[in-house]
């Protein structure tokens, strides 16, 4: 009897899970929140993460809500482990190079 129930059931694959780290899950591509993350990724360089003001300007130029940009930029930073301590350390490294 169990064989009959299994034979008539279609197997549906679960959609792939979004990456998650540091307590934050990356939003899906094609969404407004996902676009903020894409902008942040695009503006980041090997010298460091994207600056908030640059992400805000680029997102607002695309018509995204400033509150959404600010929130998602913060979540993007947390996802990548870029807390305030990381920013302070990067600033100190830059200051040493400039001196």
pLDDT one-digit tens code per residue, 62-94: 999 999 999 999 999 999 999 876 555 555 655
* Confidence band of 1 (pLDDT split at 50, 70, 90): low
Its pTM stands at 0.70
Q: What are 23-56's pLDDT values in tens digits? A: 999 999 999 999 999 999 999 999 999 999 999 9
């929140």: which residue's tokens?
Answer: 33
pLDDT given for residue 78 in this prediction: 96
Alpha-carbon distance 50 to 54, whole Å? 7
Q: What pLDDT shows up at residue 84? A: 73
């Amino acid at each position: 009897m169990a064989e009959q129930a299994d034979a008539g059931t279609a197997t549906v694959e679960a959609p792939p899970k979004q990456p998650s780290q540091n307590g934050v899950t990356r939003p899906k591509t094609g969404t407004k929140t996902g676009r903020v993350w894409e902008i942040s990724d695009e503006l980041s360089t090997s010298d460091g993460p994207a600056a908030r003001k640059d992400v805000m300007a680029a997102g607002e130029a695309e018509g995204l809500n400033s509150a959404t940009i600010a929130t998602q930029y913060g979540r993007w930073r947390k996802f990548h482990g870029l807390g305030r301590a990381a920013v302070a350390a990067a600033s100190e490294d830059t200051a040493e190079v400039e001196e």
